[in-house]
Structure 1
Amino acid sequence: MSSSPSTTTEPARQGWTLVGPGLIVAATGVGAADLVATVIAGQKYGYALLWAVVVGCLMKVVLVEGAGRYTLATGRTIYEGWATLGKWTTWYFAPYIVIWGFVYGAAAMAGTGLPLHSLFPGLSVTVWGIISGLIGLALVWFGHYSLFEKVCAALVGIMFVTMVIAAALTLPNIPELLSGLAPSIPEGGLVNVLSVAGGVGGTITLAAYGYWIREKGWTTPGHMRVMRLDNGVAYTVTGIFVIATLIVGAELLYSAGIAVQTGDQGLLDLSDVLQERYGDWAGTIFLVGFWSAAMSSLVGVWNGVSMMFADFVGHARKLPADHPSTRLGGTWYKAYILWLTFPPMIMLFFGQPVWLILAYGVLGAFFMPFLAVTLLWILNTSRTPEQWRNGPVVNVLMGICAALFAWLAATQLQGSIERILGG
């Protein structure tokens, strides 16, 4: 299928001068929980799971490129693509985005509150978390994409530099590091393999990529090359960042036989180890990086997933695609920001209801296989112009992604149920 020159001409060179949406989607997806999973993998197995980091980056590159390619090739959002597959996609997505937003809002605010409380103990984790949520709200409320992109870029820079410094302090063993590129699964390490590969660079925020490239002004097939460059650069940076995290776990913890806790508390433990080994300054720098990673995830979700929600509501209400209330800065965009910010504060004070956490775990576990399967469907049918459909290699890679994420979903679901029943 041929396209008119107006839609295939490469954009002017200034379109190449700044990559951004890919870095946002990658950084938003690397939160505190992903850092802990990688640190613990290094703590348990040294460099043995380095290959899983590389695989995780490649999987996310394939999925994000697919989401971006669909948006540029068709001018439609990813939710518009899902809606063409039948009502079952809405039946899944509607409860998912509502429940996910409520639980994630609490987790994100708590995740930013922990390092801030350690740096400035005068206020509690809860208070610092609430302040972070309100700052996130203020940054994205008016829908100024350029400001949002600059803030995210600054946070990414801080988290990248601090983690690379922490890795350099440990003086990594390069030969052992390179040996970790050979695929192997240590005994009892399958869950850690899945956590590391699945946790590199995002879940629902992968689907937000199409919305961010739209706000960036990349709106036609002519922007396909710059989108792919953006995506590749973003996950290269993310890969280096996560490898640095694995180095810290391997050199600082594995070699010394030191264990850290699961959950965000594990990063505080790691900060204490850095402080004891290299001095107060090292622990402080790491806490700043911890906060930057958590805050970039919070701000990214407050912006990107709110755009997805506004799009979802617009379709549910049968509003035109360009209706102001469904776009960045519109009514439904702001409504979801409020949903992410204020109701979750209840969970910061009173804990998390068991049934809500179980629903969050179930719905969340299935999102990545849902994304992979629906992209395979959309990008191999008439929903996408023929020249922009998947080739054989991409189909194989997306099929592998779908299988691996389905396996991870089953593991996460089993773990969630066991924790609920055990608690």
Structure 2
Amino acid sequence: MSQSTQKKSFKEKLKIIGPSAIISASFIGPGTITTATQAGASYGYALLWAVVFSVITTMVLQMMVARLGIIAQKGLGAAIRDQFENLILKYSVMGFVLMSIFIGCAAYMSGDLNGTSLGIATLTGWSINVIGPIVGIIVLLLGISGSYKLVEKLMIVLVIIMSIVFITTMIVAKPDLAGIFSGVFAPSMPPGSIITIIALIGTTVVPYNLFIHSSSVQEKWNKPSHLKDSRWDIFITIGVGGLITAAVLITSGTLMRGVEVETVADLALQLEPLLGSWAETFLAIGIFSAGFSSTTASALGAAMVASSMLKWENGMKNWRFKTVFGSVILIGILSFILNFEPLEVLLFAQALNGILLPGIAILIMVIMNNKKLLGNYRNSLKVNVAGSIIVIICLGLGTHSLITAIGDFIG
């Protein structure tokens, strides 16, 4: 691509979309949709600012790692590995990151399969216990195919489907525009909302997405002139992802204020007066898309972290990449079949993530200021200021997550 993005037509710009679609499809999972539904039901539009903040934070971090991948042609994992000369420090950091990502992805895989199955079960009436393993096997075959292009195109389709479903439901719900404006531009923290705020941010700013993005951009771009294309991809696709999350929160805040939410399926009941018999079907398609995309991204994230950090060649076609991908899926399928989600494992994964997120944010800041690696494309002062603020916030979120996990474990 020799032309700059600014000279392209809107249609041509849409063709640029790719790597960031995987990121959006990843963070719009059953967890995000359920959290957004609960946020709207409990606090109305008051926490919309947290969605906006989390999307901006995600864009800033993803732009940094995308720049790393395009300019240095190196994934975040490889950059972290090469950053340390001390062997003990190098392999300690590598070991912790690999363990944290793998355990986290495997621990939440069962929940992602459950969210996907819930959507199909609502549509077909089939048993969730049958659907879950079938979905897992489909995702497994997708990874074994070794085709990045296939995964990218699938994620774009799923993001489009989720956009249609959740944004349409928001419009049909006829929300209060003044209330939305206030929720976005007049930040507030209603009593008891801190946990929900942390959950909204934590389900959007996902550590393994940073590794996925730094590697996936290399499949599409390899020149400094491509940075504008990458930024356009990030602004549009992650922006749409944030809009989907906001749409769920707004719909819930309009129709479910004061209703106790157990699962996102509860939203279908509130949509029946507006959509009639189509309410369940329409929402089921959205829930399925969210679950399937998140399931695929979890396995992809674990495999890409290992591939980048251990410097495996040939990306998704490498047999070791496929082994890691398959292992995460198989653990998820087995956990789903046995209904095996021990609280200790989930709390351990939460505690690891509480340390991992701020740790990765700090490492990214160090790497992105490495003149030897990035030359004139290292962070500017403005980006460093924004990044430093994000690091401080990640430290706060991580500390809270760690303390909560330890408290729950002891309790």
Structures share fold, TM-score greater than 0.5: yes
Instruction: Pick from 110, 117, 124 the counterpart of residue 114 of structure 2.
Output: 110
Gap change, CA 1:333 and 1:13, over 3 Å in 2: farther
Matches within 5 A, 1:209-358: 209-215=213-219, 217-254=220-257, 257-261=258-262, 266-275=263-272, 278-314=275-311, 323-324=313-314, 327-348=315-336, 349-358=338-347
How far apart in 1 are the matches of 2:387 and 2:346?
29
Which of 60, 63, 67 is equivalent to 1:62? Answer: 60
Q: Return 5+ residue gaps in structure 1 as ranges.
A: 1-6, 315-320
Partner of 1:233, secondary structure, is helix
Counterparts of 2:349 and 2:178 in 1: how far apart (Å)? 41
Change in Cα spacing, 1:311 to 1:197, as seen in structure 2 (3 Å) is closer
Q: Secondary structure at the match of 1:366?
A: helix
Displacement of 1:22: 0.9
Match of 1:148 in 2: 151
Aligned-partner Cα distance in 1 for 2:356–2:178: 37
Query: Quick check: 1:64–1:207 contact (8 Å CA) kept in 2?
Result: no
Contact 1:50 1:246 in 2 (8 A): yes
Tell whether the 8 Å contact from 1:211 to 1:308 is kept in structure 2 after alignment. no
Aligned to 2:385: 396
Match runs of 1:163-242 below 5 Å:
163-180=166-183, 181-200=185-204, 202-215=206-219, 217-242=220-245
Q: Larger deviation: 10-19 or 182-191? A: 10-19
Instruction: Call closer, same or farther: CA 1:208–1:350 in 2, change over 3 Å.
Output: same
**Deviation (angstroms), 1:201:** 5.6
Q: Helix, strand or coil: the match of 1:390?
A: coil
Structure-2 separation of matches of 1:401 and 1:199: 15
Where in structure 2 are there 5+ consecutive unaligned residues?
A: 85-89
Are residues 354 and 198 of structure 1, via their aligned partners in 2, closer, same or farther at CA, if it must alter by over 3 Å? closer
> How many residue pairs were aligned?
399
Gap change, CA 1:201 and 1:31, over 3 Å in 2: farther
Contact 2:28–2:290 (CA under 8 A) maintained in structure 1: yes
AA matched with 2:291: A
Residue 317 of structure 1: aligned partner: none
The one-character-per-residue Cα deviations of 1:3-53 (angstroms, maximum 9, x if unpaired) are xxxx99969969853311112212211211111111111111111111111
Structure 1 position 350, deviation (Å): 4.3
Equivalent residue of 2:371, what SS? Answer: coil
Shift of residue 340 of structure 1? Answer: 1.4
For 1:383 and 1:186, the matched residues in 2 are separated by 47
In the superposition, relative to structure 1, how do residues 343 and 304 fare at CA in structure 2: closer, same or farther (>3 Å)?
Answer: closer
Q: 1:162: how far off?
A: 0.5
- Asked if 2 retains the 8 angstrom alpha-carbon contact of 1:166 and 1:282, the reply is no
Mapped partners of 1:68, 1:187: distance in 2: 38
* Structure 2 partner of 1:95: 99
Structure 2: which amino acid aligns with 1:110?
A: N
**Cα gap change, 1:328 to 1:346, in 2 (>3 Å):** closer
Between 389-398 and 54-63, report the one with greater CA deviation. Answer: 389-398
Amino acid at match of 1:23: A
Instruction: Please report the RMSD computed on the Cα atoms of aligned residues, expressed in angstroms.
Output: 2.3
Residue type at the aligned position of 1:405: C
Q: 1:122 to 1:188 in 2, by over 3 A?
A: closer
Alignment-derived partner of residue 84 in structure 1: 82
Question: Which residue matches 2:132?
Answer: 129
> In structure 2, what residue type is equivalent to 1:291?
F
Partner of 1:4 in structure 2? Answer: none
TM-score (norm 1): 0.88
Query: More displaced, 162-171 or 57-66?
Result: 162-171
2:20 corresponds, among 19, 22, 37, to 22
Percent identity over paired residues? 25
Higher helix proportion: 2
Q: Map Cα deviations across residues 263-315 of structure 1 (whole Å, 9 max, x no partner).
A: xxx2022223323664221122011101111111122333343232223334x
Provide the C-alpha distance between the structure 1 equivalents of 2:206 and 2:165, rounded to a whole number of angstroms: 20
Q: CA deviation at 1:374?
A: 0.8
Q: Determine the structure 2 residue equivalent to 1:33.
A: 31
What is the one-letter code of the residue matched to 1:205?
A: N
Question: For 1:53 and 1:259, how far apart are their aligned partners in 2?
Answer: 21
How big is the shift at 1:260? 0.5
